[in-house]
Chain A
């Protein structure tokens, strides 16, 4: 098993003051542009003892008389029961891929993924939602339990900074099956990963859906992964599994590779589209804040 790799250089802190400023800006923008669309202050679908009126329904024996609409009864001689929407906090779970494949790229995909995770977490905390971070590779590696309040952002960032790309081969299925069996409320599950899962990323996401989480996919990849600049007789070393493959890379095989990789990206996108999940695919070339703004715009347009 290869040693864990620290992907952030010691002299360049991942979350500096500039980063925090950007977070604040994003948080402000999110209130104005996409308030309640993805994250915070979303209303649950549960109806019950809330304050805000939602609907009427026929009275059935055994219903609480206190909720009968007497005004309607007086006017129309009809027994209707008033229903109210129950408001509650949104639970946001950020599943962050910490496998070794995330340490690949310049800058490393893992750094980018952590920045995106931090940004989303900050926006959620600012909107008074609860946020939990689950770092995974072959299994769940580290956990930041549900936390609430903007004040918790520093400890969240500290947690993220403490992570490194490590662990075994990505196994999303195993990770999610461990995650969903926890006794916790359902909510939004943002999966930040490259989805390079030998067993297939679909199983894990299916599990999330089946357990009534709302998965949102953020796929991060490096430009050199999409268009590798390799040629000739090579020994390819899989940084994640440690496997070695001797290949002769020709123009033809490069074309084939680009084709296969493109098909893989398409399959992830198609999966999200099929199940109505949010799906964002990005290279590490664009700044994280731009990605967040892009996500917001996409969500706003949908709304």
Chain B
């Protein structure tokens, strides 16, 4: 046995005054009584033998010296060599993914895992060190290596349930980095085993898997995707997929609602391990919250509902300046989101928010606001018009631009176009073999400008589907992010969202916060007009809210504030919906039984001293010792 603080033994010198005080007799208070006849009768009855009496005194002294020595030894903090040799270093990897919210074991798999973790912490030995890492949507160290059990218990308790995917592999890698090359290292995974490679991972030498949960069946919505209809500008196509992750046939019902208005109700009959999917069509200008619900009772409720957000579509005013072109007029008229006004002359001033479409007519200075120029007949402040291009062929097109989504111009016959020579910065979207831009965009402070230099009368562009799509894309591009469909994200993703730059209060110090479906706010760093948020680890609707800088007004606005942006988040993860752990997975719980209570020797010594004092007190009260 070694001592951590050998100098603390000097406190043993306190035994000397104890002995001195013991030898010195204390003068008792003298009280006169009329007779001691009766007192003698009391003490006569149990007058001890003289040997015992002497022993009594000695025992009392010995007890006090033993008490002192125990305390002194505790101060010196003794430890055994084997404690140093056998000290373990553990990392508890707690899976807090979506599948851990399953209630097939009461109260939940995560609670059970925490209880298992607590057992391991309670069974720690002195000098053991433990770290706690979560393996939810983003592996996170909840507590660094420590032997302090209370800290570990608190850290374990603070692990929150998430709806994110399992990242046990990443968490184990993180845990291994924490363990470094310690001799007695071990990664203890507290999980339901419902993740890929669970069985393989459990076979690793330095890994112990404590499995919680049963092979419970589950039915969940594993996909909900919404996209704009290619045919209808205000139409949507909704794809829903349901997976039966159980070994039995399941009958249930799927209900799709938009703002609580039922779109469709589908009765389902799912084969064991079967999948079902269907696409719904829906048109809506108002948009709203699209909820798909599965009417089925199972262990995991998170995947029984999925949400998507359909944007509110605003009617755009379009000022068409043309001498008359049927294609352009019709393509704009056909768009239900367009309120068209046709004129022959370029208006001197356009109302705010109006999109100007110039067909062939180009003023010297382009009007303010967004402008679509088709087949420009002259130069303007942004470009100079060159000679005509004969049979240009599109060889290069910017696929990443939203303007070019679902548009292919490479097989379109375009006998004639005009060469555009931009004066400032231009973004070419479709370029001919010679490198001349046929479709290009300009960014200017007064508004965006899109120029299509192709002659519509010659060629088949107006007859192709690319033309209305291009026009619809252009109208969407002019409108900016407003009205853009934001697809629902799966849980655990980190999303980059565009944030409107202007604060409604005009205060630049206002901050953007991310509000979770639970209502908890967390600040978000905004870089330019983009905010990176996530990981989005709860199902539901996440929103970006603008929070005033002043604390007082913040509280005032809390209830009434309108979110800047909303994004839906769904589990949509077939692996998480499958609650069944691999059959070959075997739980090992040897770790939990390894400890001796984790008490250091000094603590045991203090307890002994306390017991000794209590015993002495009892003996003194009963006059067994004096």
Contact = CB atoms under 8 A, between A and B. Distances in A.
Interface of A: 101, 104-105, 109, 194, 196, 198, 222, 225, 228, 230, 232-241, 243-248, 253, 256-257, 260-261, 264
Most A-side CB within 10 Å, residue of B26, B33, B41: B33
A268 to B, nearest CB: 13
Contacts of B41: 260
A261 B42 CA distance: 11
B38 interface: yes
Contacts of B40: 245
Contacts of A101: 34-35
Interface residues of B, number: 18
A242 to B, nearest CB: 10
Contact of B34 (A196, A230, A260): A196
Contact of A261 (B26, B29, B32, B38): B38
Contact of A243 (B31, B36, B623): B36
Given A234-B29, A247-B43, A257 B34 contact: no
A237 B37 contact: no
Contacts, number: 72
Interface in B2-47: 26, 28-43
A230 B29 CA distance: 11
Given A233-B28, A247-B43, A238 B35 contact: yes
Contacts of A225: 33-34
Contacts of B30: 234-237, 244
B38 A237 contact: no
Interface of B: 26, 28-43, 623
A239 B28 contact: no
Contacts of B34: 101, 104-105, 109, 194, 196, 222, 225, 238-240
Contact of B33 (A233, A237, A260): A237
B35 A245 contact: no
Main secondary structure of the interface of A (DSSP, over half): mixed
Nearest to A230: B31
Given A104-B34, A234-B31, A238-B36, 7 more contacts: A101-B35, A196-B35, A233-B26, A240-B35, A245-B39, A260-B38, A264-B38
Most A-side CB within 10 Å, residue of B29, B34, B40: B34
A236 B39 contact: yes
A253 B28 CA distance: 18
24 contacts: A101-B34, A101-B35, A104-B32, A104-B34, A196-B35, A198-B37, A234-B29, A234-B30, A234-B31, A235-B28, A235-B31, A236-B32, A238-B34, A238-B35, A238-B36, A240-B35, A245-B36, A247-B39, A247-B42, A247-B43, A256-B42, A257-B38, A260-B42, A264-B38
A37 B168 CA distance: 111
Nearest to A238: B36
Contacts of B36: 236, 238, 241, 243, 245
Contact of A257 (B28, B29, B42): B42
B39 A257 contact: yes
A260 B35 CA distance: 13
A226 to B, nearest CB: 10
A246 B33 contact: no
Contacts of B35: 101, 196, 238, 240-241
Nearest to A254: B42
- Sorted nearest first, the 5 A-B pairs with minimum C-beta distance are A104-B34, A101-B34, A235-B28, A196-B35, A238-B36
Contacts of A261: 38
Contacts of A237: 30-33
A238 B33 contact: yes
B623 A228 contact: no
A245 to B, nearest CB: 5
A154 B106 CA distance: 101
Nearest to B620: A248
A230 B30 CA distance: 11
Contacts of A228: 33
B25 to A, nearest CB: 10
A108 B401 CA distance: 118
A244 B38 CA distance: 13
Nearest to A245: B36
Most B-side CB within 10 Å, residue of A237, A238, A239, A245: A238
B44 to A, nearest CB: 10
Contacts of A198: 37
Nearest to B626: A248
A246 to B, nearest CB: 6
A186 B28 CA distance: 50
A235 B29 contact: yes
Contacts of B42: 247, 253, 256-257, 260
A234 B38 contact: no
A56 B30 CA distance: 69
Nearest to B35: A196
B39 to A, nearest CB: 6
Given A253-B42, A260-B42, A196 B37 contact: yes
A267 to B, nearest CB: 12
Nearest to A239: B32
B612 to A, nearest CB: 22
Contacts of A243: 36
Nearest to A261: B38
A247 B39 CA distance: 8
Contacts of A247: 39, 42-43
A198 B364 CA distance: 140
B43 A233 contact: no
Nearest to A102: B34
Nearest to A228: B33
A44 to B, nearest CB: 38
Contacts of B37: 196, 198
A200 to B, nearest CB: 10
B480 to A, nearest CB: 90
A193 to B, nearest CB: 12
A245 B31 CA distance: 10
A239 B29 contact: no
B232 to A, nearest CB: 97
Contacts of A238: 33-36
A236 B601 CA distance: 47
A233 B620 CA distance: 12
Contacts of A230: 31
B348 to A, nearest CB: 111
A241 B39 CA distance: 14
B26 to A, nearest CB: 8
Contacts of B623: 248
Given A233-B28, A245-B43, A239 B33 contact: yes
B56 to A, nearest CB: 12
Contacts of B32: 104, 236-237, 239
Contacts of A257: 38-39, 42
A257 B34 CA distance: 14
Nearest to B42: A256
B89 to A, nearest CB: 56
A46 to B, nearest CB: 41
Contacts of A246: 28
A82 B37 CA distance: 57
A248 B621 CA distance: 10
Contacts of A235: 28-31
A264 to B, nearest CB: 7
A101 B36 CA distance: 10
